[in-house]
Amino acid sequence: MVRLLGRSDARPARRPRDPQGRRTPETALGRRSLAAQVFVLQVVVVLLVVVAAVVALVLQARHDTTQEARNRSLAVAETFANSPGIVAALRSPAPTVLLQPRAEAAREAAAVDFIVVMDTDGTRYTHPKPDRIGKKFVGTLKPAQDGGTVVEEIDGTIGRLVQAVVPVKDADGTVVGLVSAGITTARVGGNADRQLPLVLTAAGVALALATGGTALVSRRLLRQTHGLGPREMTRMYEHHDAVLHAVREGVIIVGGDGELLLANDEAHRLLNLPPDAERRDVLSLGLDAETAALLASGQPVTDEVRLVGDRLLAINQRPTDVAGGPAGSVATLRDSTELRALSGRAEATRERLDLLYAAGVTVGTSLDVNRTAEELTELAVPRFADFATVDLFDAVLEGEEPDARATLRRSAMSAVRKGAPLYAVGERIRFVDSAPQARTLDSGRPVLEARLAESPGWRAQDLERTEQVVEFGIHSLITVPVRAGSLVLGVVSFWRSERPAPFDPEEVVLAEELVARAAVSIDNARRFTREHGMAVTLQRSLLPRSLPEQGALDIAYRYLPAQAGVGGDWFDVLPLSGARVALVVGDVVGHGLHAAATMGRLRTAVHNFSALDLAPEELLGLLDELVARIDQDETTDGGAAPVTGATCLYAIYDPVSRRCIVARAGHPPPALVHPDGRVEYPDVPAGLPLGLGGLPFETAELELAEGSRLVLYTDGLVEDRKQDIDTGLERLRSALGRADGSPEETCQAVLESLLPARPNDDIALIVARTRALGADRVAEWEVPIEAAAVGEVRAAVARQLARWELEELSFTTELILSELVTNAIRYGSGPVGVRLLRDRTLICEVSDSSNTSPHLRYAAMTDEGGRGLFLVAQLTDRWGTRYTAEGKVIWAEQPLPRPAAGDSMP
């Protein structure tokens, strides 16, 4: 086993444990890294040296201060004691008077704290403080009295001081007095105190420099030891050694000169190195030349695969001289011989799973059978096969359940290259019993034809075509049934030509799973096609198949069901009495059979309500109540969803007055194109959608010039997910402004400008160009309330019919008006009016201010009256009553006589 040089063999001591078996916490120093410990130790040493230096300085300063004080006090005392005149002054009658001034002057000059002159008994003659003159001196006097000197340290009243006492001798050596000089140590040590800050500053600078140097050393040590302590470093090296030789990857370290510094056990095994490989040149280890040159070069490589012996080794190599490291390189070796085989199988499995996932995401994005089949083939080519075809029964394409005996139709095909001699899309196919497709349809199981050239059953389908297929290069086939429960909807064929390997059984399983996922989407599209067809059939049966005859409007319309599902849009043109025409546009929000059925109910209700000749606001009010009852009934029965969001617009146009009354319930406003091409949206009160109730509907009355175009539509034309209704209305305004022609041309221009590629909602559009019934085709009379007026009316009507060349209708018209006018005079109230309108029919109207409506009844044989309305009903095509704000109008219509051959209608 290769060991790192310099590693300690001593195992680290285990941390002690407490009685419960837990490790005791380490000391603060023990928790630090090795670099931190070295740093702290060096800082402490430097700090101790600085402190010792400062202490020594202070002690030396104190010693020097004391010695200086002793020397100075002794010198001053001896100097003053030997000064001239001192002996005479002591023997004078007033020593204090003579000595005090001299002592003070000498004290100040010598910079001492006191000079005291005293007699031999110690009585003071002088003192800095006069009140102490004449008092005993405090200190040792005996040596001085004997002719010697005394120097001592005492704690005096002014602090710690040093004083000297010397004798004053006369000429013969007799002691005649004593002189003491003293100085405090603080006074002498002032210089040392002044020097101390400088000393401390210098010590601080030295400490900072030493700390900085220590920090640099510690930082370098920290970088080298990675913040580990001694124990951790020892443990790290042991673990490093154990891991290095236990890993299943070879590790080698090569020096800058190409010398092998380290190789673990796995590297020895993989490279078959000799036992003494360390400290030898890599090129001399017996490796192949390319591998040895790579390891000796130190160039960075990543997962470079080399064949070493019988192994495929993946080599990763990096230099070690980055970030200031030593020159050389480290390389790892991984045996990838088995991994290569496993990774190939794993990659194939991953691709198959990815294909199945993509099938769930990309196949079935629409509810169209053919498009779903195309998505399947587009997914399979080229990821799974080189060619893919889908053949479905015709009934499936129409939304019905398939018949196994019917022919199939090629619905989709994808190919990696063009020109394959396969059946084209749209071609009808009937497979022979031996063909793989026929066997798949019969058994409901996939069939594998690994080698088509060796399959007589497949060749029997069409000898010439199959020979062309083989020559084209297609050599392998898988057929899979499209199953949805117990139904087989068709067959999918996967063909291979570009890849030489044939399909295998594992790929058959994948193909079956792929088609199974797509079959659900195909069946859903089939069911939708069936339900959509049923809904469209129902819806078209409920919509008007042709427009009724009327002379007030030239009308063109368009109705386009949504591709995503049938909605509840509808429209109607309803002739009313008096040559008037009602236009209706409605929308039931939602799609499907429920919306279509609800639309039929509402359209029938509008027909019934319009037969009552109601005003637009009254009709919408009744329709609102009907929707509310429908919602209530369906909610109570737990049936379908309520009819929320139903809207309607109802307009009545009168060609005589050229006025149009419009009311709407939550529907988009109508557009009006004036004869000069100007487009506007009349201000029609919106009202709430049907079924909400609560508020009455309001109307708007428009006066339309002859030739104006009134445009009614549903919101599918102007609103969708990509644009709001305001944008759609502006686009409609622009399209109408450009459309200058008949209603038919206007419809076409609007749809070309606004119709989306795939409408998400139904679109209903009506363009109605107005006509006017001229004054020459209208005759009116006011009838007095008297019986004689009936004859006058009959005569006037006969004259008017003669002017219109309708003498053939004179008898029946006079009879009808006689009955209606007589009833108005007898049972109604004035004023009574009569109006004749010549339109497609002859319309007779009698109005009065009464709200009482006559009723048709059968008179008995013995009754004298009661047969008038019965005669009116027999002589006319239609008759009825409509109510106005002033009363009521009884009207009757007669067909105009057919013109003779060669004549024309006036």
pLDDT score at 905: 40
**Is pLDDT at 14 greater than 50 in this prediction?**
no
Cα 748 from Cα 740, distance rounded (Å): 11
> Residue 846's closest CA among 874, 810, 804, 817?
817
Cα 265 from Cα 283, distance rounded (Å): 19
Do residues 167 and 186 touch, judged by C-beta distance below 8 A? no
> Residue 385's closest CA among 515, 505, 494, 516?
494
Cα 144 from Cα 139, distance rounded (Å): 11
Question: φ, ψ for residue 842 (rounded to 5)?
Answer: -95, 120
Which residues make beta-bridge pairs with 673?
A: 679, 709
Cα 734 from Cα 728, distance rounded (Å): 10
pLDDT score at 392: 92
Do residues 583 and 712 touch, judged by C-beta distance below 8 A? yes
- 457-472 confidence digits (pLDDT tens): 898 988 889 999 999 9
Which residues make beta-bridge pairs with 392?
A: 409, 490
Cα 589 from Cα 201, distance rounded (Å): 93
Residue 814's pLDDT band, with cuts at 50, 70 and 90, is: confident
Omega before residue 382 within 30° of 0, cis = yes
> Residue 556's closest CA among 543, 570, 546, 569?
546
Cα 309 from Cα 332, distance rounded (Å): 17
- 700-710 confidence digits (pLDDT tens): 999 999 999 99
Q: Terminus-to-terminus CA distance in the chain, angstroms?
A: 125
Instruction: Quote the longest CA-to-CA distance of the chain.
Output: 201
Strand order in the sheet with 250-255: 260-263, 250-255, 328-335, 311-319, 301-308
Q: Environment class of residue 636 by beta-carbon count within 10 Å: exposed (0-12), middle (13-18) or buried (19+)?
A: exposed
> Residue 550's closest CA among 528, 572, 529?
572
Please report the DSSP string for 351-397 in residue order: HHHHHHHHHHHHTTSSS-HHHHHHHHHHHHTTTT-SEEEEEEEHHHH
Non-local (6+) Cβ contacts of 567 within 8 A are 561, 587, 588, 590, 591, 595, 596, 716, 761, 762
Residue 674's pLDDT band, with cuts at 50, 70 and 90, is: very high
DSSP state for residue 700 in the 8-state scheme: E
Non-local (6+) Cβ contacts of 284 within 8 A are none
Cα 510 from Cα 514, distance rounded (Å): 6
Higher pLDDT, 648 or 630: 648
Query: Virtual CA dihedral for 734, 737, 738, 741, nearest 10 degrees?
Result: 140
| Tokens linked to 805 | 């060349």
Do residues 587 and 647 touch, judged by C-beta distance below 8 A? yes
Question: φ, ψ for residue 130 (rounded to 5)?
Answer: -55, -25
Cα 284 from Cα 295, distance rounded (Å): 12
C-beta atoms surrounding 642 within 10 Å: 17
- Give the three-class secondary structure for 373: helix
What is the mean predicted confidence (pLDDT) over 37-56? 76
**Is pLDDT at 9 greater than 50 in this prediction?**
no
Cα 791 from Cα 891, distance rounded (Å): 19
Which residues make beta-bridge pairs with 410?
A: 391
- 314-366 confidence digits (pLDDT tens): 888 888 877 667 788 888 888 776 655 555 565 666 777 777 777 777 787 88
Question: Residue 289: enclosing H or E segment and its boundaries?
Answer: helix 289-297
- Give the three-class secondary structure for 680: strand
| Tokens linked to 364 | 């079935």
Handedness of CA 681, 684, 690, 695 (dihedral sign): positive
Cα 906 from Cα 447, distance rounded (Å): 79
Cα 101 from Cα 109, distance rounded (Å): 12
pTM for this entry: 0.52
Higher pLDDT, 54 or 634: 54
C-beta atoms surrounding 227 within 10 Å: 13
If DSSP states are collapsed to H, E and C, what string results for 755-805?
Answer: CCCCCCCCEEEEEEEECCCCHHHEEEEEECCCCCHHHHHHHHHHHHHHHCC
pLDDT score at 606: 92
Do residues 158 and 187 touch, judged by C-beta distance below 8 A? no
Radius of gyration of the chain (CA): 62
> Residue 2's closest CA among 235, 258, 276?
276
- 394-420 confidence digits (pLDDT tens): 888 888 888 777 889 999 999 998 888
Residue 549's pLDDT band, with cuts at 50, 70 and 90, is: confident
Residue 28's pLDDT band, with cuts at 50, 70 and 90, is: very low
Residue 94's pLDDT band, with cuts at 50, 70 and 90, is: confident
**Is pLDDT at 7 greater than 60 in this prediction?**
no
Higher pLDDT, 220 or 815: 815
